[in-house]
Structure 1
Amino acid sequence: MHDHAAGGHAHDHTAGANATKLSWALALTSIYLVAEVIGGFYFNSLALLSDAAHMMTDVAALVIALLAIRFGQKPADDRRTFGYRRFEILAAAFNAVLLFAIAIYVLVEAIRRFSDPEPVQSTGMMIVAAVGLVVNIVSMRLLMSGKDKSFNVKGAYLEVWADMIGSVGVIAGAIAIRFTGWTWVDPIVAVGIGLWVLPRTWILLRDTTNVLLEGVPNGIELNKVRAAIAGVPGVVNVHDLHIWSMSNDDISCTAHVTLGEGAAPDEVRSRVVALLDQQFEIGHATVQTEGPGEECEAGGQVHP
């Protein structure tokens, strides 16, 4: 069995490191957001405003991510028996929805500009975008180590990553306008940024929705888990098998197993719990046993 206290300490350590990195990324992004909004209006660039819109969602993502870490560390209580870990998932889902809304706004504004082109000051547009590129690269480096361990940090990382691509697009658009005078390049870049971001946003929304629907976590196949449990000595049948997660790294499982003649319930439960932990990294399992032709009668074992 895992040492629960040690696991909790490790999680707190990881959350603290993520909070520090998120705080630095938030400070950088917030300062640049103000500069980009001012630059977008001053230089009349929809591409800059599109990038600023995504930068605004970056700021929202980072603020919510920090709040999610703070709430996620609160212990379980009589009303929230699983604690507050799911706040992280809600935060990531909100960020994805916000990005979709911004993309729709940029698309509508771009269509208007195609029919009514407006002059753009390309030099200022390029300078602001270049500064944004540097900010995004620094923020990405800060968030890179935590993105695979937390949906929350991954959501923030994806938005910063998308903004980096956006900054490159704005720079390219500014160069094109500077040498050709084609102001319609500006709304095209704005739309391109939105289309580049949306597939990644959809993936994040899909994954967070799966968690909210208590779906089987990515990387785990229910049939393989069922077959593995059925292969444990003393088990003749498995039913009412449920696997879900409260967040991306906190997987839970419940199962009812039917025992063969003469099988010892406590011994079978211990074997099943150990199997789930070692083979599938399911750290929280409740296994209930029943004799042949009987309803569940033995108590469940919770791990850890």
Structure 2
Amino acid sequence: MSSLNSTSAGAKHNKSLKIVFAITATYLVIEVVVGFISNSLALLSDAAHMLTDVGGQALALFAIWMTSKPRNNRKTYGYYRVEILSALTNAIVLIFISGFILYEAWQRFQNPPAVAGTSMLIVAFCGLIINIIGMKILSAGSKESINIKGAFLEVVSDMLSSVGVIIAGIVILATGWLYIDPIMSALIGLFILPRTFRLLKESVDILLEAVPSNIDYGAVEKCISEREGVVSLHDLHIWTITSGVTALSVHVIMQNDIQLTQISEFVQNIKEHLESEFKIGHTTIEVHIQDDKYKMNIV
């Protein structure tokens, strides 16, 4: 088995996540205070969403710290999966938050209270700027880590939420129509759900050791089975340990006239191709000779 010494994708962008966490936490406090003063549900619903951002980012930072801990005889993969559990927890909490926002919006449709539009606008504009900065900081890491991706999508959602609050504030100031506040908050809640379910599905797929969505199982199988000397293969498994760390194991049956040096070269070539073509860096290849006079395991 190849050495499992890969750094998780999230750890590579730890500093960026810390910066966004500090910015987001500061803005959250401001938004909650102004939301209560202005009596704006749109602002408070955005703050509730921001709270899940802060919680999710804190979980992600904790998970990244955990993944840096060395593996041991009990945790042979180390603590890589903590990152996935963090993303899963974030998704579940976000679903409940969305439901609460929709419930509160419905209550306000029955009896819309007075809302201070000016306060909404000031804080929402500040939030928009902060979210754009956060998006820029996390953009690169979101393509590599499910943790960073979750944080990035949260910031994108917050950015759109800020736009919604700005629209609500302008409408209230211009027309006095209070129903725009619960309407925008409901839209914010509805926007959260589809993205949250995608994050939930991705987390569950990793925990179930499903084939990564960016890898074609058939192409990998063909890559190995069509090599010279291969009779057949079975027990091909491809899974994600954590973001940026993909593993593969396979049992290969080879012709009985194959030489030891050829087997070693075969295994090395396969491992190099899997890493360069499919980004699979942790491989276990078990080789058996066809007539089964002897068995040889090479990894």
Task: Normalising by structure 2, report the TM-score.
Answer: 0.92
Partner of residue 299, structure 1: 297
Query: Which whole-Å deviations, capped at 9, do the CAs of 1:218-267 have from their partners, x for residues lacking one?
Result: 21111111111111111010101000011121111110111123123434
Kept in 2, the 8 Å contact 1:106–1:190? The answer is yes
Give, in angstroms, the shift of residue 92 of structure 1.
1.0
Give, in angstroms, the shift of residue 161 of structure 1.
1.1
Partner of residue 233, structure 2: 238
CA distance in 2, matches of 1:295, 1:72: 43
Is structure 2 residue 19 aligned with structure 1 residue 24? yes
Partner of residue 99, structure 1: 94
Pick from 212, 223, 226 the counterpart of residue 228 of structure 1.
223
Q: Which has the higher relative contact order, 1 or 2, with Cα contacts under 8 A spaced 6 or more apart?
A: 2
Is structure 2 residue 202 aligned with structure 1 residue 204? no
Kept in 2, the 8 Å contact 1:256–1:296? The answer is no
User: After the TM superposition, which of the residue ranges 19-28 and 47-56 deviates more from structure 2?
Assistant: 19-28
Give, in angstroms, the shift of residue 270 of structure 1.
2.9
CA distance in 2, matches of 1:15, 1:79: 22
Large movers: runs of 4+ above 4 Å: none
CA distance in 1, matches of 2:16, 2:93: 23
Kept in 2, the 8 Å contact 1:272–1:287? The answer is no
Give, in angstroms, the shift of residue 295 of structure 1.
9.5
Is structure 2 residue 68 aligned with structure 1 residue 68? no
Partner of residue 114, structure 2: 119
Query: Which whole-Å deviations, capped at 9, do the CAs of 1:163-196 have from their partners, x for residues lacking one?
Result: 0110010000110111111111101100111122
Query: Which whole-Å deviations, capped at 9, do the CAs of 1:142-174 have from their partners, x for residues lacking one?
Result: 212211121111111111111011001000011
CA distance change for structure 1 residues 296 and 84 in 2, over 3 Å: closer, same or farther?
farther
Partner of residue 281, structure 1: 279
Partner of residue 15, structure 1: 11
Is structure 2 residue 172 aligned with structure 1 residue 177? yes
CA distance change for structure 1 residues 296 and 80 in 2, over 3 Å: closer, same or farther?
farther
Partner of residue 158, structure 2: 163
CA distance in 2, matches of 1:298, 1:223: 26
CA distance in 2, matches of 1:261, 1:70: 48
Is structure 2 residue 244 aligned with structure 1 residue 249? yes
Is structure 2 residue 138 aligned with structure 1 residue 143? yes
CA distance in 2, matches of 1:295, 1:91: 48
DSSP 3-state at the match of 2:296:
coil
CA distance change for structure 1 residues 27 and 267 in 2, over 3 Å: closer, same or farther?
closer
CA distance change for structure 1 residues 134 and 124 in 2, over 3 Å: closer, same or farther?
same
Partner of residue 39, structure 1: 34
User: 5+ unaligned residues in a row in structure 2: which ranges?
Assistant: none
DSSP 3-state at the match of 1:135:
helix
CA distance change for structure 1 residues 266 and 12 in 2, over 3 Å: closer, same or farther?
closer
Output the aligned Cα RMSD. Answer: 2.1
CA distance change for structure 1 residues 207 and 295 in 2, over 3 Å: closer, same or farther?
farther
Kept in 1, the 8 Å contact 2:10–2:64? The answer is no
Q: What is the letter of the counterpart of residue 214 of structure 1? A: E
User: After the TM superposition, which of the residue ranges 60-69 and 261-270 deviates more from structure 2?
Assistant: 261-270
Give, in angstroms, the shift of residue 296 of structure 1.
8.5
Kept in 1, the 8 Å contact 2:10–2:148? The answer is no
User: 5+ unaligned residues in a row in structure 1: which ranges?
Assistant: none
DSSP 3-state at the match of 1:214:
coil
CA distance in 2, matches of 1:201, 1:235: 44
Partner of residue 90, structure 1: 85
CA distance in 2, matches of 1:296, 1:52: 66
CA distance in 2, matches of 1:167, 1:234: 61
CA distance in 2, matches of 1:218, 1:20: 27
CA distance in 2, matches of 1:53, 1:142: 22
Kept in 2, the 8 Å contact 1:269–1:288? The answer is no
